[in-house]
Amino acid sequence: MISPARKIAYEVLRRVEAEGAYASDVLHAELGARVKTEDAGLATELVMGVLRWRRLLDFLLERQLKKPVARLDLPVALALRMGLYQLRFLQRIPARAAVNESVELVKSARKTSAATLVNAVLRRAANDARVPAAQFVPPATPIMECLGILHSHPTWMVERWLKRLGEQQTIALLEANNRAPRLSCALHDAAHRDETFAALRNAGLRIEAGSILQSAFAVSGGSPTRTESFRTGAISIQDEASQTVPLLLDTQSGDRVLDLCAAPGGKTPPLARAAGAKGIVVAADRHAHRLRAMREQFKRLALTHVRLVELDAASPLPFGLLFNRILVDAPCSGTGTLARHPEIRWRLHPEQLTEFHTLQTSLLRSALQQLAPGGRLIYSTCSMEPEENEQVVEEALRSTSGFQRDITNEAGRGLEDKLVAGRAPESLFDPEGYFRTTPSAFETDGFFAAIISKA
């Protein structure tokens, strides 16, 4: 017999590898109300753990296999990774269960001929599951390769972070990327804070205060999406740094607001609420199906005055009016979200950073043309890479006159009354005046934002 949690985890991992799906999306679809809480927890742990630690798992498995894991049939590779992850990282699971159910997974995938191999490899791996992995890395291994193996990241990614951040900050970032991130939520109505939190606690959730915003909080012990507070629009699930980015616009009642790359729609609601019924709020995206999903979310949140527009924002924009506030939350590599989306680290290639840079610069240039005099624009990404961040801003501003980047004194305008006690606005900005968060320092995703104004 194979436990429900392992069946779900195996199927999610298969789809991530074979179909290019995102683990969080597939897990959300698979973990419906009929799945027991404990099964949902173990399935999530197995999926995210295997994806985060894939390189280290493969390194340890190849000591036994004497050939690359990549040469194995996918069902066999997944069963081995799941088994070894349980043996090495989940001490409460008996070794026998980890091994036997991995063998059964291979059989259920009609790879019975590989069952003996899986059984033998995992039984040998169980014998040294408590030996630190560092002991198996050859002493002469270069530091970027060594850190890449032990912290399970691509060597090219580790190498560029070492050059820019140094060894201490790089290790802190690698460690943060391998921890399960806080499940952060946004509270939409501060007046009902106590009532909403009481309802969430009654639903079995534990609540922790946010580290940046008064309106943010983290939950554990269950899924917020199964609560009445979520269904009625009192809360949304959103990383805390992501919640902070739209607040940098300092949107005022009656403003004309453009959210240019709006999907999946998490940053539009605070802009719409701040602009109010007298404002104009346009949320644009190039994909119709993502706009449809946003429309459903806005119904849940009772946002009725947001105008949804399908367009390619890298081309000249079709609007006949200028906007006081513009958010360009650009498509990016997502290297600031590797704890939440660990599969990205295995899909991303360094040459893609140049492709993102070209697209992002086009998006920013298009947006600047729609900014009204005296207006404010935010360019943001969830990337840690300069090519997608400050280099995009610098290139766009060099080729477009009449704009300037706001620095520290003005950058935090509008945040003062929204931050948690003891958090100063300037703590969110680097010496050059760019907004930055990192998983290691803030327990959030890694976000970047630049604030640009028009004279």
**CB atoms inside a 10 Å sphere around CB 231:** 11
The 10 Å CB-count burial string (b at 16+, else e) for 252-284 is eeebbbbbbbbbebbbbbbbbbbbeeebbbbbb
**Crossing angle of helices 54-65/143-150, nearest 10°?**
100
Asked whether residue 206 falls in the same domain as residue 271, the answer is no
CATH of the domain at 362: 3.40.50.150
Asked whether residue 143 falls in the same domain as residue 225, the answer is no
Domain that holds residue 217: 183-237
The total domain count for the chain is 4
Per DSSP (E only), the strands in 39-154 are none
d(CA 103, CA 112) in angstroms, rounded, equals 9
Tell which residue, 36, 6, 394, has the closest CA to residue 379.
Answer: 394
Q: Do 322 and 258 meet the contact criterion of CB atoms below 8 Å apart?
A: no
Asked whether residue 339 falls in the same domain as residue 393, the answer is yes
Asked whether residue 264 falls in the same domain as residue 117, the answer is no
Asked whether residue 165 falls in the same domain as residue 189, the answer is no
pLDDT 10s digits, 354-388? 999 999 999 999 999 999 999 999 999 999 999 99
CATH of the domain at 71: 1.10.940.10
Q: Do 437 and 446 meet the contact criterion of CB atoms below 8 Å apart?
A: yes
Asked whether residue 261 falls in the same domain as residue 406, the answer is yes
Catalytic residue status for 261: no
The residues near 361 (Cβ < 8 Å, ≥ 6 apart) are 392, 395, 396
Question: Which of 185, 261, 332, 382 is flagged as catalytic?
Answer: 382
- Reading the chain (455 residues) residue by residue, the pLDDT tens digits are 899 999 999 999 999 999 999 999 999 999 987 899 899 999 999 999 999 999 999 999 999 998 899 999 999 999 999 999 999 999 999 999 999 999 999 999 999 999 999 999 999 999 999 999 999 999 999 999 999 999 999 999 999 999 999 999 999 999 999 999 999 999 999 999 999 999 999 999 999 999 999 999 999 998 899 899 999 999 999 999 999 999 999 999 999 999 999 999 999 999 999 999 999 999 999 999 999 999 999 999 999 999 999 999 999 999 999 999 999 999 999 999 999 999 999 999 999 999 999 999 999 999 999 999 999 999 999 999 999 999 999 999 998 899 999 875 566 777 989 999 999 999 999 999 999 999 999 999 999 999 999 98
Asked whether residue 304 falls in the same domain as residue 449, the answer is yes
pTM of the entire structure?
A: 0.95
Per DSSP (E only), the strands in 190-337 are 206-209, 216-220, 235-237, 256-259, 280-285, 306-310, 323-329
Phi and psi, residue 285, nearest 5°: -160, 155
Tell which residue, 145, 173, 171, has the closest CA to residue 159.
Answer: 145
Asked whether residue 34 falls in the same domain as residue 161, the answer is no
